[in-house]
Structure 1
Amino acid sequence: MQTKIRFFSVTFDFPRDELISRVIAASRRVPDKITLADFDEARPSASLYLFQPRNISIARRNEDGEVVWDSVETVDRIAVKIHISKQYAVISAINSPRSSKFVDMLMSELCSDTKYFYEAMEIEEALVKKHVSKFDAARLVSAKVRDFAVYEGAVGRFEVTSKNGLVDDIAPFLRGKFYRVDSLTYELTHGFSNFLVTYSSGGGIKVNENHLDLLLTTFEKLI
């Protein structure tokens, strides 16, 4: 089963060494929203569960046999980790909703008296190459690129794949041209494991859940 991890870069006004104390305080103040699972004051970092209510629509038949729609409230439980990286704080969320409202909820509780700013973390090609080099073997097997010039006033987007692996510059006709990378998929080998990982420039990584811990541990050390 594929698991998606989304990454957000966060800046805030309070000192970094206050992060854990603020997380602990928030989990005690609003336990219905934030549950603290684990923390490391030395790093600092914390693993949390966030609980975010949302409404879903369900269909049912009334006594006359007509289909009617009702709104039912449910709760999403989102596994989140927040830690201090080399440049900023990073929030990673596993299989989170498409909306980033849960990041706002968390940061508003941690920064009730200060300002904060967050955005999807950009995963650049250089970072991806550093990460895949941490494994025994890595082969680029798929890439999506965009914004390369086709002719004056027109730009293109395409995906190229090869089970035998792609060349470093993805496609010969892109050599020397400007383009942006949307996503890169690598086949990684580590020990006795062989698996696929997809890196999205918009701050997401997809990997089989069996290799999630290995992937996160090595990736977090680079950011």
Structure 2
Amino acid sequence: MLADLDEERPSASLYLFHPRIISIARRDDDGEVVWDSVETVDRVAVKIQISKQRTVISAINSPRSVKFVDALMSELCQGGRYFFESMEIDEALVKKHVSRFDTARLVSAKVRDFAVYEGAVGRFEVTSKNGLMENIAPLLQGKYYKMDSLTYEVTHKFSSFLVTYMNGGGIKINEDYLDLLLPTFERLL
């Protein structure tokens, strides 16, 4: 792990080197395909932002696995005991965040657990390049549902980009806009 601490604010940037095994195919001398396992290393950028209420750990382009989270927390806590809970991103937090940009319109939503009829729940995705209704779809009005992901088309300071918020704590965005998006999101937490 390599770290860069900011002495003026309670934050740090670091890289975590995370080993993993991948399978590769190669041809042997006879021309037959042979599969091998090879160990490789992922370099993951991690930002730590500390406020009075909480500590936010942001892993940029990290592997989506419990093993990675365990390796990250073990390294940060240096063998101490810890409890980790992924942040759940909800619609209220997303709306608060996208309101910080010049314009934002919902273009895709994945929802689950909405009541279709007695004893049956549904899951669906709705997408429109023209933008979705604020309440996503008429069939959801007045019904309970959970958000899986929301994708917004955002325009800010002459730039347009897509940002996807996933309820399990993940945000997908083009790396070019990371410095604009991540700090504004962390300040809301």
Q: Secondary structure at the match of 1:116?
A: coil
Q: Does structure 2 conserve the Cα–Cα contact (< 8 Å) formed by 1:50 and 1:102?
A: no
Cα gap change, 1:66/1:222 in structure 2, threshold over 3 Å: closer, same or farther?
same
Give the Å deviation of 1:144: 0.9
Give the match for residue 88 of structure 2: 122
| Structural RMSD (CA) | 1.7
Counterpart of 1:133 (choices 70, 74, 99) is 99
Question: 2:180 — aligned with what?
Answer: 214
Does the 8 A contact of 2:10 with 2:51 survive in 1? Answer: no
CA displacement, residues 13-44 of structure 1 (integer Å, 9 cap, x when unaligned): xxxxxxxxxxxxxxxxxxxxx011x2224431
Q: Deviations over 1:75-130 (max 9, x none)?
A: 11111112224532221111111213233223223324632111221111111111
Query: Distance in 2 between the 1:57 and 1:113 partners?
Result: 31
Which residue is equivalent to 2:2? Answer: 35
State, as a whole percentage, how many aligned pairs show the same letter. Answer: 77
Which one-letter code corresponds to 1:166 in the other structure? Answer: L
> Would the aligned equivalents of 2:16 and 2:46 in 1 still touch at CA under 8 Å?
yes
Amino acid at match of 1:92: S
- The answer to whether the aligner puts 1:89 opposite 2:55 as a matched pair is yes
**Equivalence map 1:21-100=2 (5 Å):** 34-36=1-3, 38-85=4-51, 87-100=53-66
Deviations 1:122-166 (A, max 9, x none): 111111111001011111111111101111111001111222222
Q: Deviations over 1:166-206 (max 9, x none)?
A: 22211122111111111111111111111111111111111
Q: Distance in 2 between matches of 1:163 and 1:195?
A: 13
* One-letter identity of the residue aligned with 2:36: D
Structure 2: any 5+ residue segments left out of the alignment?
none
TM-score normalized with structure 1 length: 0.78
Unaligned runs of 5+ in 1: 1-33
**Alpha-carbon distance between aligned partners in 1 of 2:123 and 2:6, rounded to the nearest angstrom:** 43
Q: Which residue of 2 aligns with 1:158?
A: 124
Normalised by the size of structure 2, how large is the TM-score?
0.91
- How many pairs were matched up? 189
Question: Alpha carbons of 1:210 and 1:159: their partners in 2 closer, same or farther (altered >3 Å)?
Answer: same
Q: In 2, Cα distance between the equivalents of 1:173 and 1:56? A: 44
Task: Please give the alpha-carbon distance, in whole angstroms, between the structure 2 residues aligned to 1:65 and 1:192.
Answer: 53
**What's the counterpart of residue 77 of structure 2?**
111
* Secondary structure of 1:129 counterpart: helix
SS where residue 179 of structure 2 aligns?
Answer: helix
